[in-house]
Amino acid sequence: MSKITYISAEGLKKLKAELEQLVNVERPAISRNIGEAIEKGDISENAEYDAAKDAQGMLEAKISILQSQLATARIIDESKIETDVVQIMNKVTIKNKKNNATMTYTIVSEHEADLKIGKISVNTPISQGLLGKKIGDSVDILVPSGSISFEIINIELGV
């Protein structure tokens, strides 16, 4: 059985929209492409047919993954999110103790992570090191480049 993943209402809405797009728009388009390639004759040496079948396989795999994610998703009750300790759906400001650089991240489910907008997965080493800590706590987090010391500057609601 797959493990339950927690997600925001917004994240669940995005997952559902992506699945709907794949099933209702992209799947029929690929089916049309396969049909057109078949109409062109001998499919044993038809590159268009091969490409369309490959695209169909990748699409079906992605649909399957999204369906699995939706089946195990549970919406986080945002009214129960606290800011006394770091937890999922918190926006956390941390300071690198070595170079004094500050960073702010919102800790989200792995399906909602987007580093470009400051959302990091709850499964990342940084998130794992921050979870359960309080403002003022110092944490040493092991990342691929080594260990980095951070101080938690602020915790607020991330939604």
pLDDT, one tens digit per residue, over 70-92 is 898 888 877 778 889 999 899 99
pLDDT, one tens digit per residue, over 43-58 is 777 788 888 889 999 9
pLDDT of residue 1: 47
Question: Which option is the CATH number for 80-157: 3.40.47.10, 3.10.50.30, 3.40.50.12160, 3.10.129.10?
Answer: 3.10.50.30
For strands 138-143 and 146-157, give the pairing: antiparallel
- In angstroms, the CA 150 to CA 140 distance is 6
Domain boundaries of the chain, sorted by first residue: 5-75, 80-157
- In angstroms, the CA 152 to CA 154 distance is 6
Secondary structure class of 97 (helix, strand, coil):
coil
| Same fold for the pair 5-75 and 80-157 | no
Q: Which CATH architecture has domain 5-75?
A: Orthogonal Bundle (1.10)
Is residue 89 a contact partner of residue 78, using CB atoms and an 8 Å limit? yes
The model's pTM is 0.71
